[in-house]
């Protein structure tokens, strides 16, 4: 049964991304319907997007990486996550080329490094990211992880960037519940709309505390490495569920993350076949039997990020 059927996602939350082909030809296949996740502060983003970790590191792969991102956009995955850390800004430059001519279709997420996250440092880092991205605004700007600079300085800088219309929303990454609660006590803490953390079948600790905490406060959880960077241990249950649905274990693992109403996933791939498979995860409905089988082979363990 789907989340929409259960009433967790309204019908109007299903949207189609604009489809475009570089050669100007009409679409040959329907864009994958991807539900929208709505978080506090008015954030609205597709439940499935695209990651860019390791992109921009090698010039020889640049055309392939850009093509993979554009294919993802064509298939409805109209959100892309990057960071100033990735390839020292090179990944942001790859994103800039991928969104050229279609910026308004894509929800861009990028991140400031903790060593740059003082008040002034955050402002300057955002301006550098804007230049590399070739855009006048960042849709969602995250603190990559907690560092030595007080979080209240980073949040104050985020708020200034919002007022200057250089970013639309802000959030954090790799924060556990204690970190979230500490940030929430700051006057600008309720402006945190997203927490990006590792989440996959083998990394389920956030289900014990962070996910319920975020759901209660309408903070979206953005799952990075949802298939463990392609190194997911494929147990018997995962193989069986994939066979039952005539798909790949990776597609099942990705669909598994999307069963949570406030979770969005950002798998990274420069392989066009993998991008197409990832897009199909949004239409894969896992049964109660499927989920129970996966729980047996990948049991929840502990708490925390």
Question: Is 5 part of any domain?
Answer: no
Question: Is 185 part of any domain?
Answer: yes
User: Closest Cα to residue 181, out of 205, 145, 217?
Assistant: 217
Distance CA 52, CA 11 (A): 30
Res 23: pLDDT: 35
Res 22: pLDDT: 41
- 86 included as an active-site residue: yes
Question: Is 254 part of any domain?
Answer: no
Distance CA 145, CA 140 (A): 15
Please give the model's pTM, rounded to 2 decimal places. Answer: 0.88
For 19-62, the pLDDT digits (tens) are 343 433 334 445 667 999 999 999 999 999 999 999 999 999 99
User: Closest Cα to residue 4, out of 290, 293, 295, 283?
Assistant: 283
Q: Are strands 192-198 and 107-112 parallel, antiparallel or unpaired?
A: unpaired
Question: Is 249 part of any domain?
Answer: no
Residue 66, CA distances (Å) to 217, 222, 239 in order:
36, 22, 31
Res 305: pLDDT: 66
Sequence-ordered alpha helix ranges (H) in the chain: 62-74, 90-99, 119-133, 151-163, 177-184, 210-217, 236-244, 249-257, 272-280, 288-297
If one counts every other C-beta atom within 10 angstroms of the C-beta of residue 30, the result is 10
Residue with tokens 């006048």: 136
Look at residue 176 and tell me whether its pLDDT is greater than 80: yes
Res 33: pLDDT: 79
What DSSP letter does each residue of 77-134 carry, written as one string?
--EEE--TTGGGGHHHHHHHHHHTT-GGG-EEEEEE-GGG-SHHHHHHHHHHHHHHHT
What is the arithmetic mean of pLDDT over 193-212? Answer: 95
Domain of 142, CATH number, reads 3.20.20.100
Res 67: pLDDT: 97
Res 15: pLDDT: 35
Higher local confidence (pLDDT), 304 or 190 = 190
Residue 100, CA distances (Å) to 38, 54, 70 in order:
26, 20, 10
Lowest mean pLDDT among 213-217, 226-230, 290-294: 226-230
What whole-number percentage of the chain has pLDDT above 90?
84
User: Closest Cα to residue 50, out of 264, 285, 273?
Assistant: 264
In which domain, by residue range, is 84 found? 38-232+260-283
What is the arithmetic mean of pLDDT over 241-251? Answer: 96
169 - beta bridge partners?
140
CA pseudo-torsion sign 146, 152, 158, 162: positive
- Tokens for 302? 């502990």
What whole-number percentage of the chain has pLDDT above 70?
88
- HSE (CB half, 13 Å, CA atoms) of 84? 23
Lowest mean pLDDT among 120-129, 220-229, 284-293: 220-229
For 43, phi and psi rounded to 5 degrees?
-70, 135
Look at residue 16 and tell me whether its pLDDT is greater than 60: no
List all residues 6 or more positions away from 286 whose beta carbon is below 8 Å from its beta carbon: 241, 252, 255, 256, 259, 294
Question: Is 32 part of any domain?
Answer: no
Q: Quickly state the pLDDT bin for 135 (edges 50, 70, 90).
A: very high
Res 304: pLDDT: 61
Look at residue 7 and tell me whether its pLDDT is greater than 50: no
200 - beta bridge partners?
203
Question: Is 135 part of any domain?
Answer: yes
Please tell me the total count of domains within the chain. Answer: 1
Question: Is 137 part of any domain?
Answer: yes
Question: Is 300 part of any domain?
Answer: no
């Amino acid at each position: 049964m789907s989340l929409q059927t259960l009433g967790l996602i309204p019908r109007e939350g299903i949207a189609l991304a604009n489809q475009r082909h570089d050669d100007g030809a009409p679409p040959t296949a329907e864009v994958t319907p991807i539900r929208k996740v709505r978080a506090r502060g008015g954030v609205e983003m597709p439940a499935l997007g695209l990651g860019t970790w390791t992109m921009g590191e090698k010039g020889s792969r640049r055309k392939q990486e850009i093509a993979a991102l554009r294919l993802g956009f064509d298939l409805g995955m109209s959100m892309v996550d990057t960071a100033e850390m990735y390839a020292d800004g090179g990944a942001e430059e790859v994103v800039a080329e991928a969104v050229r001519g279609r910026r308004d279709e894509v929800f861009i997420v990028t991140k400031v490094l903790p060593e740059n996250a003082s008040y002034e440092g955050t402002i300057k880092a955002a301006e550098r990211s804007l230049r590399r991205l070739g855009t006048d605004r960042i849709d969602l700007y995250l603190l990559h992880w907690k560092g030595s600079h007080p979080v209240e300085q980073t949040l104050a800088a985020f708020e200034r960037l919002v007022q200057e219309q250089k970013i639309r929303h802000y959030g954090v990454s790799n924060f556990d519940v204690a970190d979230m609660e500490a940030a929430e006590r700051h006057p600008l803490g309720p402006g945190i709309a997203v927490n990006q953390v590792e989440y996959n079948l083998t990394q389920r600790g956030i289900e014990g505390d962070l996910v319920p905490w975020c759901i209660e406060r309408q903070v979206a959880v953005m799952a990075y490495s949802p298939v463990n960077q392609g190194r997911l241990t494929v147990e018997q249950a995962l193989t069986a569920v994939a066979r039952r649905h005539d798909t790949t274990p990776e597609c099942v693992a990705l669909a598994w993350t999307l069963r949570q109403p406030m979770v969005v996933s950002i798998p990274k791939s420069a392989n066009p076949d993998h991008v197409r498979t990832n897009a199909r995860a949004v239409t894969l409905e896992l049964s109660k039997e499927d989920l129970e089988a996966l729980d047996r082979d990948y049991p929840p363990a502990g708490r925390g990020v």
